[in-house]
Structure formats: C-alpha cells, structure tokens
Amino acid sequence: MTVINCRLNILAIPDPMEMMNKASSARRFPPEHFLNRELSLLAFNRRVLGQAADERVPLLERLRFLCIVSSNLDEFFEIRVAGLKEQIKLGAVAPGSDGLTPHEAFRRVSAEAHDLIEEQYALLNAAMLPALDKQGIRFLKRSAWNEAQAGWIRDYFFREVMPVLTPIGLDPAHPFPRVLNKSLNFAIELEGKDAFGRSSGAAIVQAPRVLPRVIRLPEAVAGAPYGFVFLSSVLHANVGELFSGMNVLGCYQFRATRNSDLWVDEEEIKNLRLALQGELPQRHFGDAVRLEVADSCSEAMTDFLLQQFALGHDDLYRVPGIVNLVRLMQVPDLVDRPDLKFPPFQAGLPKALAKNYDVFASLRKQDVLLHHPYQSFSPVVEFLDQAVDDPAVVAIKMTVYRTGTDSILMELLMRAARQGKEVTVVVELMARFDEEANINWASRLEEVGAHVVYGVFGFKTHAKMLMVVRREEADEVGKGGSALRRYVHLGTGNYHPRTARLYTDFGLLTCNEALCADVNEVFKQLTGLGKASKLHHLLLAPFTLHDALLAAIRAEAANARAGKRVRIIAKMNALLDPEIIEALYDASQAGVTIDLIIRGACALRPGIDGLSENISVRSIVGRFLEHTRVFYFYADGGMKMYLSSADWMERNFFRRIELCFPVLEPKLKRRILKEGLMPCLADNAQAWEMDEDGRYRRKRSRKKGFSAQEALLAELSLAAPPT
C-alpha cells in the first residue's frame, strides 16, 4: 500500500508565515545587534580555509579542506546568493534583522566572496602546490612539459578526450549552447574561415562529465611518484585539433553557477514525487548567479560570456588557476601516502553493547548513547538488522532525510517489507540535493510493499527517528502474557553510515515507554490526519520546540535574577532566529553565563557591554564536521539536557518537522556534558572565538594545544586498524 500525504493534513498545522510574523512583530533590539547570515556563512568558510593553511594539518588533508571551501561556496552561490538575487529581481527592499536590504547584502557578500576566493587561490599557488611538489605530488604545467610528457598527453587527448568532444561554432545556426550548472566549458577565440566559409570567430567546447578532470601520468613519464595533469591543460594544448585550418587566438576555461533551489506550487501540486521528477532536470539550467573564468580570459570574451548569462561584473570571478578546485578532491584518494593524511581509526562501541549482543535485551536493561564518529554507527544498523530477522518484530517505522544512493539501511527496510513486516517510511523528497536519491528509494520501497509517506507538504521532515514494534513474551515483558513493546533510535544526524564517519553526532537507543509513545504519536501525525497531541517528553517543531526553548532560556534568566546558580551551554550548526537571540541577550543582561558552540552561521553578537557580555561564541573546525545539536540548561540543579535534529533557525522552528528529545538518565546527561560540551569549551587548538564585530580569531595556546576531537578519538575509539 502506498500513501501519498502531501496536502491534506496541512490544515492541522499552523501557518508558518503567521508564526514567523508573530515572532518578528515583537522585535525589541536594533539591527546593529544582529549579524548577516550570508556574511556569517562566508566567515565560516574562512575558518575552513584556515585549516587548509594550518601546517599542523597533514598536507593532503589541507588539500581536502581547500576543496571543501570550494564545494561549500558552490552551494552558497546556488542557494544563498541565488536567493538574494531573486529578492532583488522581485524588487524586495525590506531589510532583514541585520538591517541590510537585499541590494546592500548582495554588495557586501560579493566583496567578501571575492576576497575569500582570492585568498584561497593565493594559498593554493604560493604554498600548497610547492609543498605537494616537494613530496613528489606534482601538477604539471603546460609551459613546463618535456617532450615525453607532451607526447603522452597528446596521445591521451586523441585516445580518450577528442572522441567525446563536440565543438560548437557560434553562428546564426548554432546559438550559444545551454551550459549545465557547474560544468567545465571552454570559450575559444578563432580567426579564419572553415570549410563552409563561416568565420564567426568564437566557439564553445563543453567538457563531458564522463571525462576525469585530473589525470595521473605514469611515474616514468611524470618524473615524480605522483604526477597529474588537468583536463583543462590537455584540451588547451590540443584545442587546435578541433578546428582544422583555423587559427586559435585564445582558449579560456569558464564555469557558470546557477540557482539550484527547487520550487513547487502548493496550490497546483497533486503528486509531489511526480512534480519533483519534472523539476529536477531544470535544476541544471536555473538562472546563472556566478561566472568563473580563467584570469587569462580576454576582456572581449569575458564581456561576451557575462552577456550570455545575464550577469554583471559583481558576479564575475577571475581565478589564477583551474576554475573548479572541487576537482582536486579526488587527489588524496589517488595518492598512497598515509603520512600525509589523518591517521586511520576504528570507531569504538559502548560497554553496554558487547560483541554478539542482543540489541533488544540490552535496551531493556538500559538506554544506550552513541557518540559518532568516535563510536560506531554499526549499532544502529544492527538494531535494524536484528529487527528485520526477528520473528517477534511486527512493525518498523523510520524517517529518511539523507541516506545516500547506496544505503544498507534502505536495503534492510526493503528486506523487512518482503518478509511481510509492516514497514512505514517517511521519505523527505525535498531534502536539498538528495531529491533524486530519495525519489529512487521511495519507488523501490513502494515496489516491495512498504508504506511510503512524503510527510506534510510545506514542512520538511528533518526529524531523525526509527521505531521497532516487537511482540514480547512474559519473561521479556515482566508480566503475565505477551505484549507489544516499542524500541526507538533518535539522533542528531542523518541515517547515513558514510557521513557518520565524518560528522559528529549523538544517537540514543531506548525502550523508555514514554519516549517511545511520543515517537509513535509523531509518526501518527506524519502519516495520518488530526490535531497535534500533547507529548510526554519530546519537543516538536513547528508546535512546541520554539516556545519550549524560549521558556528554558527565560527560566535561567529568572533564576539569575533570584540569585540562583545558572548556566546555558548550547551547541549547534547555526544560530539565526531573532527571538531566540533576543532571549539570550535578556538572559545575559540578567547575569546568565551562556556558552555557544556554533559551527557555522551565527547572527548573535557576543561580548557587548550591557547586552551580551556574558555570552561567548566559539566555532570548532577540525577533522570532523561538528554536526551535534546539544542544549544544556542548569535549571536550578535539574540539569536539563536535550539532543535535537534542529538548529536555532526560523526554518527549523517554523518550516520543518524537527525533534528535540531530553536525555533522562543522569549518567548519560553527565556523559554528554563530559564528551559533547566541555571538551569544545576547553579546545585551544581548533577553536575560533567570535568578537563583538562578528570576526573570528583562532584560539591558540603557547603550550601544547588541546583538541576536543583528538581527545575524544583517543578516549572513545579503538586502536587504529592494521594497514
């Protein structure tokens, strides 16, 4: 049975715009007390670039960080800059919380992005490429090829490249081609006439995506253990072969970044999956928002390209090198130099989960907390695997936001459905850049008889929850007869085994009856219809989460005014919600010590006398992506500890379905404080501290630095596996 639940139960949920307008109408602090989101995101990428510049980081990992900056900037332009340009196009003039109009924000973002990209290429050319060369990892420049290298590359061009190229001469019969988003292209300036007497003077060559962007040469030819050449260099050197009898005056690589946000009309939509399938191909051809060209590109060709993409000079990025540094991301995987990479590690397991454990018996004894990536994601997989093969399990329910194109969890769900278990999967089709993968999983799940639900239209289902329903006998239940018992996993991160090795997250496995009843109620709301019910413990967006967090912050402020001990520590990816920020300012003025660990964008200004002098903001940028959401309130000694799928952003509070769940066992609360919060506050190796102007400064110790991530690896992971 397939359930498509897109529009009907939207009536049971408050209008998100009404809720946001209500929150913003009571704004009490002036714009200068808020930072701009886009500029804050660029500041985060400066911190990532700082990792690439840090000589204490292994060299090939520094190269990865350099590439991550480019990957992040691609999405930044595709979504954030595209959004600003769309507002400008629509004539929007209303300022944001920071007081900047879309025009003003775009000008500042453009200037900052140009500076950041200039620094990025300067680091690559002046420091990283020479350092790699010293280690025998060489990127061969055309101007320095010897005869053997030029011959090998020429042969490679005729054998592997030329057969798949389609040069397009620009004339009335061949207009400027549609250029795919972020694809590698070449603009060619020509003189002379072809066989038909045409002399347009320009042509475009699009590099097919099947061609590798970085090509490794044999060691004997390269003259180094690892010698590489870029596809752009291969084509530049041989481009004349594509235009016989004509003179090539210039060959310039370029790349266009396009608006990649998908939009579907709630009033017209009948089937969300079919609508998205129709929209996905257009993502590659949205409005252009950025043009990257080689710095050697002539002014005439540059102006021509800007005209073709309807862009201005603020949208132009001239770069001294390849136009897409993301293509260098594959190089560390092609180089077998463990000494230039982070040392390997084997994720550990909690003591409660011994080898060959029965996950259900273990959870009946105690809740289990998992801290990824220091501890393995395998217990989550094992939880589902045992459920699939357990004849006592009658039903499995799960949310899917990002899980990847190759997911063992999805395969297990399909196996469970084939075995006749009741399988319900809430698939978020609007997970940005994962829409196609999720559509494919939804189709495959439906084919084997799983109930597939697309959540609530207009609200992304971002909550991470997995529930197993098991029929248990008297000795397991602890009372006469059999009964159904629910087991759940709740997490701060996605059900994605690969990113669980790269992102820091917490996960909780439990059979606590009240928590499990709440999870069951949330699933019922997602798959059915009806009013929101009162939950025992869970905080749920868009219903209770925002108000509950405001209440917790205000309670700390009230306790501070009463002379009681107070403390707030919150760790998340982004802090942007104005009303939450105002509550934090109030709490600071009341005397509450507030430590914020914000990996990415933060709109709050810390350290301002009379406003936020009791607030500190720091960001940890290291080997792993800090993804955990942890909220701690002293609560007059009650020590409330929450884990959540939600950042403190308006979209999470009002336009998404998010879970925030309390950790109830005191032992686990202390462990989260010890592992998830205090090491980040003590970090003086990978931490950056924000000042009142929104600038970040690296926290450095003159003595041996303390890295939270390295300390947790040493404490929680196992010894490095044998190589």
The pLDDT, as a whole number, for residue 11 is 33
Q: For 157-168, how does the pLDDT look when each residue is reduced to its tens digit (9 = 90+)? A: 999 999 999 999
Strand 247-258: give its sheet, edge to edge: 167-169, 202-206, 185-191, 247-258, 288-294, 316-319
Q: For 660-687, how does the pLDDT look when each residue is reduced to its tens digit (9 = 90+)? A: 999 999 999 999 999 999 999 999 999 9
Q: Using 50, 70 and 90 to split pLDDT, how confident is the model at 5?
A: very low
Q: Do domains 118-340 and 359-534 have the same CATH topology?
A: no
Q: What is the 3-state secondary structure (H, E, C) of 599-660?
A: CCCECECCCCCCCCCCEEEEEECCCCEECCCEEEECHHHCCEEEEECCCECHHHHHCEEEEE
The pLDDT, as a whole number, for residue 17 is 47
Q: Using 50, 70 and 90 to split pLDDT, how confident is the model at 8?
A: very low
CATH code reported for the domain at 118-340? 3.30.1840.10
Tokens describing residue 459: 């609200």
- DSSP assignment letter at 346: B
Q: Is 264 helix (H, G, I), strand (E, B) or coil?
A: coil
Least confident interval from 93-97, 232-236, 380-384, 719-723: 719-723
The pLDDT, as a whole number, for residue 341 is 97
The pLDDT, as a whole number, for residue 28 is 80
How far apart are the C-alpha atoms of 437 and 169, rounded to whole Å? Answer: 36
Question: 625-626 and 630-633: which strand pairing?
Answer: unpaired
What average pLDDT score do residues 290-307 get? 96
Least confident interval from 325-334, 350-359, 653-662: 350-359
Please list, residue by residue across 13-28, b when 16 or more beta carbons sit within 10 angstroms of its beta carbon and e when fewer do.
beebeebbeebeeeee
The pLDDT, as a whole number, for residue 24 is 47
**Fold of domain 540-716:** Endonuclease; Chain A (3.30.870)
What average pLDDT score do residues 200-217 get? 91
How far apart are the C-alpha atoms of 140 and 156, rounded to whole Å? Answer: 15
Q: Which residue has the tokens 């969890």?
A: 409
The pLDDT, as a whole number, for residue 300 is 94
Distances (CA, A) of 158 to 154, 164, 167, 242, 304: 6, 10, 15, 11, 30
Helix axes 435-447, 408-418, angle to 10 degrees: 20
The residue ranking higher by pLDDT, 200 or 92, is 92
Helix axes 545-561, 578-590, angle to 10 degrees: 10
Burial zone of 138 (CB within 10 Å; 0-12 exposed, 13-18 middle, 19+ buried):
buried
Q: Using 50, 70 and 90 to split pLDDT, how confident is the model at 431?
A: low
Contact 460, 431 (CB under 8 A): yes
Q: Using 50, 70 and 90 to split pLDDT, how confident is the model at 9?
A: very low
569 CB-side CA count, 13 A: 18
- List residues bridging with 528 in a β-sheet: none
The pLDDT, as a whole number, for residue 6 is 33
The pLDDT, as a whole number, for residue 409 is 92
- Spatial CA neighbour of 372 closest among 465, 515, 539, 496: 496
Boundaries of every domain in the chain: 118-340, 359-534, 540-716
Rounded to the nearest 5 degrees, what angle is found at the Cα of 226, between the Cα atoms of 224 and 229?
100
Listed as own residue / partner, the contacts of 304-313 with beta carbons closer than 8 Å and 24 or more positions apart are: 304/187, 304/202, 305/187, 305/254, 308/176, 309/179, 309/256
How far apart are the C-alpha atoms of 245 and 417, rounded to whole Å? Answer: 64
Q: Over 70: is that where the pLDDT of 719 sits?
A: no
Catalytic residues: 462
DSSP conformation letters of 29-95: S-GGGB--HHHHHHHHHHHHHHHHH-TTS-HHHHHHHHHHHHHHHHHIIIIIIHHHHHHHHTT----
**Fold of domain 359-534:** Endonuclease; Chain A (3.30.870)
What is the overall mean pLDDT for the chain?
89
Beta strands in 223-306 (DSSP E): 226-230, 247-258, 288-294
Q: For 598-641, how does the pLDDT look when each residue is reduced to its tens digit (9 = 90+)? A: 999 999 999 999 999 999 999 999 999 999 999 999 999 999 99
Q: For 532-556, how does the pLDDT look when each residue is reduced to its tens digit (9 = 90+)? A: 788 999 999 999 999 999 999 999 9
The pLDDT, as a whole number, for residue 357 is 82
Q: Over 70: is that where the pLDDT of 87 sits?
A: yes
